[in-house]
Amino acid sequence: MNESAETLNGRCLCGAVRFRVTAPVITMGHCHCSMCRHAHGTAFSTYCQVDAAAVEVSAGREAITRYDSSPGAAREFCRHCGSKLFYRAREMPEFLWVAAGALDDDPGVRPDFHIFVASKAPWHEITDTLPRYGEFPPGDGH
């Protein structure tokens, strides 16, 4: 966990949405599920798990659009530029997952794991030694 008390700043590509994270990042990981791949247009997405109460949208709240991608999950993005911003799991409302690429500042942590590697893009090879999980890690609460 990042023990830094510094505020992390983030924004979308066009700058319409700006936000702050005022608590340390709990963990960071790469998700290879097909929904993340399609939403981001990449081999995987990287998210930082934080305390939901520590995320403050400082500008552009009205520009945030929500898409319920599955019965238990919602993805939030800027309606102007399409930047992916947040992921919410209904079973875990106390947490919010912030798209790491939307952060302007170094979160002070590095990725800890890969999830949903059972459905990763067949053309992508994972070359690091981080732990890999076929779906969610054991005991993660999903």
CA angle 61/11/16 to nearest 5° reads 50
With helix as H, strand as E and coil as C, how does 85-135 read? EEEEECCCCCEEEEEHHHECCCCCCCCCEEECHHHCCCCCCCCCCCCECCC
Q: What is the mean pLDDT of the segment spanning 76-103? A: 97
pLDDT single digits (tens) 33-55: 999 999 999 999 999 999 999 99
- 96 pLDDT exceeds 50? yes
pTM of the model: 0.91
Look up the CATH architecture of domain 8-119.
Beta Complex (2.170)
Q: What is the pLDDT of residue 18?
A: 98
Instruction: Name the DSSP letter for residue 36.
Output: H
How far apart are the C-alpha atoms of 11 and 86, rounded to whole Å?
11
Q: What is the pLDDT of residue 2?
A: 44
DSSP SS3 for 35: helix
